[in-house]
A and B are shown apart, each in its own frame.
Chain A
Amino acid sequence: MTANGYLQVGVFLLLVLALAKPMGWYMARIYEGKNAWLNRLGAPLERLIYRLGGVSSEHEMRWTEYAMAMLVFNFLGVLLLYAIQRLQGYLPLNPQQFGAVGADSAFNTATSFVTNTNWQGYSGETTMSYLTQMTGLAVQNFLSAATGLCVAVALIRGFARHTAATLGNFWADLTRSTLYILLPLSLLLAVVLVGQGVIQNFKPYQSVPLHDPVTYQQPLMNAQGNPLMNAAGDPVNRMVLQKNQLLPMGPVASQEAIKELGTNGGGFFNANSAHPFENPTPLSNFLEMLAVLLLPAALCFTFGEMAGDRRQGWAIFIAMTVLFVAFLGAALYAEQHGNPAFGKLGVDQTASALQAGGNMEGKETRFGIVDSTLFDTITTATSCGAVNSMLDSYTPLGGLMPLWLIQLGEMVFGGVGSGLYTMLAFAMLAVFIAGLMVGRTPEYLGKKIESYEMKTVSLIILITPLLVLVGTAVAVMTAAGRAGTLNPGAHGFSEILYAFSSAANNNGSAFAGLDAGSPFYNIALGIVMQIGRFWPAVATLALAGSLAAQKRVAAGLGTLPTHTPLFIALLVGTVLLVSALTYIPALALGPIAEQLAMSGIH
């Protein structure tokens, strides 16, 4: 990597740390109801929301009630978003007069945005009206992130409380997450992004003349809409002179901000954050990356603060950072190395002061290799799933890293909320394994990890591999599943494996050559997303309920300290071991096979 590359990554990581710590402290104060300035300023609005919703915010909920409120609220969210998409043709703010979104696609998209996956089986600029984007998709960007925060906070309270029956109030946590954390940050980021060139308007699409018009071949159609054939059986084409471009418009910046801050990732446009109207400059790219990592990283410190032991938060943060840097390094190396097949053709892939070099297929000039790979590693380590470069065209090793990061379970920082609660499940697994080694009852933060806790932890950790591997197996065994791949051979298998990994772990990025718009994938992935989101969330709340009910045990001589380098190493080892045992056979058939084949070409 170039010296400038090290500088960019170093400055970025330092800024994440510098911002995450105060942010984590602020969030702890918000959830504990302590004075944090904004929640005093917004108190009248907060009370108004409770009055309009009929909420008694002081009412404490048991885990079952908390889970039920979350499920019902999210279920209604799916219905509303589905309805908006199906009815957009009759609704206002639709200057391009888009019709209803197809039923299977609308189901997939509604599910996808409510589960914080934000998988894009559609192309935004030719499918969704402005109204659907802002009152449908963007709203769920906020609410799915807030839901994740609620579940994480409930689990933290499980550790912080003892001999307690309840975990807090879902509606209060939801409202505070949105009002005091997501909204102010989004407003700030959106305005800065506009300053960099992200668009924000309600105008119809803008026609622009091409300075150097192009001609292209268009197949002629008969009256039935089938291509016309000549006597030899070849399609008949006509030459078309293209004289203009139609630039899409819309309220992009407001959506872009929460898309990153809420680790949602569903783009306004098909090309997502590679699109110059979503991500016009290296600075906008830097801020978007920062926004993605901010809240998941900050939650580590919120956890330490609320659980009453800051060192515990540091331990989790360091474990995440170690994993992140290792995967990032491998991906950067592979992408900067370029494509060996091009070298023989007289193509210059070396990095210099005048070009980024490396594997530039599917990447933007302004981002080059470092900013592209860093962005996509961040959005797959978290459950964001936004992309500023096309993962399907990454080198096999470069594409393996994002795929494997997703398969780790989205806990290397992870989704807003979901990352922390998944990582804490792994921490309990690590404590349990250590307890087995020395033959003592394991404890974590003064709570005993017994049979019930380990069962819920297993439910959280094992459901996603099951969904990914069974889903992939079904897809490769059916014609409808195989029909979707764009690339031949091992890479085609990677596309399918990636799709199910992304959906089950609620990431939403794709090896986008896969034809994700087919009914098979819309429905299969929609179901996988639902289970992958709500099964672990409910299991986490059950775990939180059980932890909160326990007495706190004082740490004894036999207690494994969970803030030491030894524990961090144990945690990182546990995470890697579980995912390696689960996924290496599948990865060997996809990216690993392709990497070996590519080295063979060389």
Chain B
Amino acid sequence: MLAHLRISLLMLLVFTVITGVLYPLAVTGIAQAVFPRQANGSLIRQHGQVIGSALIGQPFSSPQYFWSRPSATTPFPDNSLASGGSNLGPTNPVLLQQVKARIAALHAADPSQHAPIPVDLVTASGSGLDPDISPAAALYQVPRIARLRHLSEQRVRALVARYTTLRQLGFLGEPRVNVLELNLALDAPGQQ
């Protein structure tokens, strides 16, 4: 028993050094040398200033921007210090109320849009920080954006197509549109 205790303690310390110090340091060293952009958060810079991360969603609620997925984080949407989903069950009345409110908000922002609403635009994401919406959710918003920005729908649709990422390696995951990058492109000088 006592012999086990001594060996246990020593082995625990040895493995803490190997797997808890040397291993993460080795990974950090390789990561910073080979993939510095990714290792530091895939940050987007404009004029030397960090203006976002390509991987972390931001809340967009002004009508002239493409809206992101709803986010259940508190106290404000896409709070990156409180990642998580709503955890509301499928039969919870609160979930139904929230979905109805999101539908109402979409209709209020564009009363002329009567198409069925893509489900990802009215349901909260798992992380609360989803950077993407589906191409369907982006196309649904095109008429509103085009009207408010005095652009042709065709031009906005082309922009959506340019910022659509197809399935990885041709078959993995789902096609998606990065909302922050798309909105940054909308605000770029050439688009006005």
Contacts and interface: CB of A to CB of B under 8 A. Distances in A.
A390 B73 CA distance: 13
B117 A216 contact: no
A260 B5 CA distance: 30
A276 B87 contact: no
Contacts of B12: 73, 76-77, 80, 143
B174 A125 contact: no
Contacts of A345: 99-100, 103
Given A201-B39, A358-B119, A367 B20 contact: no
A270 B171 contact: no
B126 A363 contact: yes
A302 B186 CA distance: 56
B37 to A, nearest CB: 9
Interface stretch (B48-56, B141-149, B150-158): B48-56
SS class of chain A's interface: helix, strand, loop or mixed? mixed
Contact of A283 (B4, B139, B169, B180): B169
From A143, A171, A271, A511, residue with most partner B Cβ within 10 Å: A271
A164 interface: no
Interface in B40-75: 40-43, 50-62, 65, 69, 75
A55 B128 contact: no
Given A277-B55, A283-B169, A366-B173, A201 B7 contact: no
Contacts, number: 385
Given A282-B173, A360-B120, A367-B174, A216 B81 contact: no
A196 B38 contact: yes
Contacts of A228: none
B10 interface: yes
Contact of A271 (B6, B50, B85, B175): B85
Interface size bucket, B side?
A: 35 or more
From A125, A200, A248, residue with most partner B Cβ within 10 Å: A200
Nearest to A242: B76
B76 A216 contact: yes
A52 B14 contact: yes
B118 A348 contact: yes
A389 interface: yes
B87 A275 contact: no
Interface string A263-298: 000000111001111001111011000000000000
B137 A355 contact: yes
B85 A211 contact: no
Contact of A489 (B91, B119, B130, B174): B91
Contacts of B135: 354-355
A364 B15 CA distance: 36
Contact of A8 (B76, B134, B171): B171
A393 interface: yes
A201 B75 CA distance: 27
A458 interface: no
A225 interface: no
Contact of B132 (A142, A174, A194, A366): A366
A271 B27 contact: no
A342 interface: yes
A357 interface: yes
B40 A199 contact: yes
B127 A276 contact: yes
Contact of B84 (A72, A271, A361, A371): A271
B134 A365 contact: yes
A513 B89 CA distance: 9
12 contacts: A4-B167, A49-B14, A183-B18, A187-B27, A212-B183, A255-B24, A276-B55, A277-B55, A347-B116, A354-B135, A366-B174, A392-B85
Interface of B: 1, 4-12, 14-16, 18-21, 23-24, 26-28, 30-32, 34-35, 38-43, 50-62, 65, 69, 75-93, 95-96, 99-100, 103, 116-120, 122-137, 139, 167-169, 171-176, 180, 183-184, 187
